[in-house]
């Protein structure tokens, strides 16, 4: 079950939430297939001005995406291709919806979740 936590400048996010959720979900579906659409979980967080920093200085053109995926994706022979197909389209979605100037400051991190460490509704998600 792909789950995304996305942090963006609050003033850039407001009003664009539905379009961004749709674009991020579509990016995941393009990799996993249509069957995954209902499983994609997106959490958007607006970051107040001055709370994104790079090199010790506040910046307003950064975005952060943490994508939780099953650990098995990194063990596949095509892992490099799959991970590349996840990182670039998520960045594209943010740049397209929120602003092209965010592209250079967008960080996408893929985080592996072993199957025995993922729970939904208090139940192990296998």
Long-range Cβ pairs for the range 71-76 (8 Å, 24+): 71/112, 71/113, 71/114, 71/115, 72/115, 73/112, 74/112
The CA-to-CA distance between both ends of the chain, in Å, stands at 10
Q: Provide the number of structural domains found in the chain.
A: 1
- Alpha-carbon distance of 55 to 57, in angstroms, equals 6
Could you tell me the CATH number of the domain that includes residue 93? 3.30.429.10
- Alpha-carbon distance of 23 to 77, in angstroms, equals 28
Q: What is the pLDDT along the chain (126 residues), one digit of tens a residue?
A: 788 999 999 999 999 999 999 999 999 999 889 998 998 999 999 999 888 888 898 888 889 999 988 888 888 898 888 888 888 999 999 999 999 999 999 999 999 888 777 777 788 776
Alpha-helical runs (H) found in the chain: 10-13, 17-32, 79-98
Give the domain range for residue 80. Answer: 3-124
């Amino acid at each position: 079950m792909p789950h995304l936590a996305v942090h963006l400048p609050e003033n850039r996010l407001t009003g664009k939430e539905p379009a961004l959720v749709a674009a991020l979900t579509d990016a995941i579906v393009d990799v996993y297939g249509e069957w995954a659409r209902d499983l994609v979980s997106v959490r958007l967080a607006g970051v107040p001005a001055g709370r994104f920093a790079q090199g010790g200085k506040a910046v307003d053109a950064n975005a952060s995406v943490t994508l939780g995926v099953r650990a098995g994706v990194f063990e596949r022979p095509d892992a490099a291709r799959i991970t590349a197909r996840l990182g670039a389209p998520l960045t594209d979605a943010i740049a397209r919806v929120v602003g092209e100037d965010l592209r250079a400051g967008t960080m996408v991190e893929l985080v592996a979740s072993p199957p025995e460490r993922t729970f939904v509704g208090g139940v192990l998600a296998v």
